[in-house]
């Protein structure tokens, strides 16, 4: 019944449209345009809406803990003793310390690797190295964590003679490796996007290759490189599983990089499954602090980028 109906309907429309084909086609095209514009808008709003919803719910869930301990008790408290004290300062310090160490070691290596791939390496080497770097980005974080646990942690025990290698340093090394692919690929792409005339002009003026790379090409690609760094930092701050496996997770204030510590993300992941009431709310509050930190970080870097490009 369906099969017979369809051709008839088709015939009817095709017969009448023949005379005013142009009008219908353009109207149809218009409709498609509107439809797709709506679809694009909807898609864009889903992203923004998700951000808004996540922000709203995290804040809403965190409210009881903020009421219980006060913002000062949470952000400046040094003792994490649920269900009485919910100080997350040690975790803020641990997150900042491990991330900044990872950025300090990982970013220069990443940028120099990008320079190598974009400027120095012969095409054959690039062909092998680039997929290798991209593969590094695809390794799940639990595998990085396992690698850290069986390789880096014992190595730190031997090199520094500490009783336990589960330290901030171990986490920083793992994080530095984890942010490498992001920094390398984004930096390389932006270095390659720098117009060749810049390089040629600089070399023609008698500048050395190294000078040209550092003072002409790098500044020109700065915006893209900074994006890579921001993405890398975001990954490092947000990393959870690998950190849980190598940092020891002690909730005490770390006294140095060879101390065990707990990051904010680890705090949430470790205790979420069982926490109830204010304890659970305090974990959401940890999430709020994390969210605020990432926002501040992004805003600062974006601002810096705009300032220096003026």
Partner 1 sequence: MKKLFAGAVALVSLTVTSTVMANETITVTGSNSMSSLMEVLAETYTVKTGNFVEVQGPGSSAGIRAANEGVSMLGMASRIVQDDEIKENVHTVAMARDAIAVAVNPANGVSNLSVEQVADIYRGEITNWADVGGAKSPIVVITRDSASGTRAGFESTLGLTRKINGIKVSAIYPRAQVANGNGMVKTTVAHNVYAIGYISLGTVDESVQALSINDVAPSVATIQTGEYPIARPFTLLYRDDAPAAAMAYMNWILSDEGQAIVARKGYVPVK
Q: Summarize as ranges the residues that interact with partner 1 (CB under 8 A).
A: 79-85, 149-150, 153-154, 157, 163-164, 166, 244-245, 248-252, 259-260, 262, 269-271, 273-275, 279
Query: Measured from the CB atom, is 162 or 301 closer to partner 1?
Result: 162
Q: How far is the CB of 247 from partner 1 (least distance, A)?
A: 9
The answer to whether residues 150 and 174 touch, using CB atoms and an 8 Å cutoff, is no
Instruction: State in angstroms the smallest separation of the CB of 104 from partner 1.
Output: 25
d(CA 49, CA 56): 10
- Closer of 112 and 275 to partner 1 (Cβ): 275
HSE at residue 82, side-chain half, CA atoms within 13 A, is 17
Q: How far is the CB of 90 from partner 1 (least distance, A)?
A: 8
| Cross-strand bridge partners of residue 267 | none
Q: Please, which residues have CB within 8 angstroms of residue 189's CB and are 6 or more apart in sequence?
A: 224
* 298: number of Cβ within 10 Å: 14
Q: Which one, 250 or 297, has the nearer CB to partner 1?
A: 250
Please identify, using beta-carbon distances, which residue of 146 and 198 lies nearer to partner 1.
146
Of the two residues 235 and 262, which places its CB atom closer to partner 1 in the complex? 262
Q: How far apart are CA 79 and CA 107, in angstroms?
A: 33
Q: Among residues 38 and 154, whose Cβ is nearest to partner 1?
A: 154
Dihedral angle of Cα 179, 180, 183, 186, to the nearest 10 degrees: -110
Compute CA distances 195 → 119, 201, 220, 234, whole Å. 13, 10, 9, 29
Compute the least distance from the CB of residue 273 to partner 1, in Å: 6
To the nearest whole angstrom, how small is the minimum distance from the Cβ of residue 294 to partner 1? 24
Whichever of 164 and 189 has its CB closer to partner 1, that residue is 164
**Angle subtended at Cα 259 by Cα 254 and Cα 261, rounded to the nearest 5 degrees:** 60
Report the distance separating Cα 188 and Cα 130, nearest Å: 10
Q: How far is the CB of 145 from partner 1 (least distance, A)?
A: 11
Q: Which of 228, 240, 236 is nearest to 99 (CA)?
A: 236
Minimum CB distance to partner 1 smaller for 187 or for 265: 265
What is the CB neighbour count within 10 angstroms for residue 261? 28
What is the DSSP-derived secondary structure letter of residue 13?
H
Taking the complex as a whole, how short is the minimal distance between the CB of residue 111 and partner 1, in angstroms? Answer: 34
Q: For residue 261, which phi and psi values (nearest 5 degrees)? A: -155, 170
Output the smallest distance, CB 75 to partner 1, in A. Answer: 18
């Amino acid at each position: 019944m369906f099969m017979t109906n369809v051709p008839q309907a088709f015939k009817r429309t095709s017969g009448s449209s023949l005379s005013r084909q142009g009008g219908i086609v353009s109207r149809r095209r218009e409709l498609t345009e509107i439809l797709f514009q709506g679809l694009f808008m909807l898609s864009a709003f889903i992203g923004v809406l998700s951000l808004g919803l996540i922000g709203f719910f995290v804040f809403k869930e965190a409210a009881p803990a903020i009421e219980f301990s006060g913002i000062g008790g949470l952000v400046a408290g040094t003792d994490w003793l649920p269900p009485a004290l919910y100080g997350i300062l040690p975790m803020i310090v641990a997150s900042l310390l491990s991330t900044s160490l990872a950025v300090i070691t990982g970013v220069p290596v990443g940028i120099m690797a990008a320079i190598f791939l974009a400027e120095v390496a012969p095409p054959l080497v690039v062909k092998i190295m680039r997929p290798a770097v991209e593969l590094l980005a695809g390794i799940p974080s639990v595998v990085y964590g396992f690698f850290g646990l069986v390789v880096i942690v014992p190595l730190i025990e031997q090199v520094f003679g500490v009783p336990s290698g589960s330290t901030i340093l171990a986490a920083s090394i793992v994080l530095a490796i984890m942010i490498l692919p992001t920094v390398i690929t984004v930096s390389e792409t932006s270095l390659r996007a720098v117009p060749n005339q810049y390089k040629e002009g600089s070399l023609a003026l008698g500048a050395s290759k190294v000078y040209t790379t550092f003072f002409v090409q790098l500044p020109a690609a700065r915006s893209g490189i900074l994006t890579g760094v921001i993405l890398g930092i975001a990954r490092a701050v947000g990393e959870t599983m690998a950190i849980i496996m190598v940092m020891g997770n002690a909730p005490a204030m770390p006294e140095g990089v060879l101390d065990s510590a707990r990051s904010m993300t680890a705090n949430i992941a470790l205790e979420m499954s069982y926490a109830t009431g204010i304890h659970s709310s305090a974990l959401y509050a940890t999430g709020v602090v994390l969210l605020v930190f990432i926002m501040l970080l992004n805003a600062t870097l974006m601002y810096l980028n705009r300032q220096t490009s003026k």
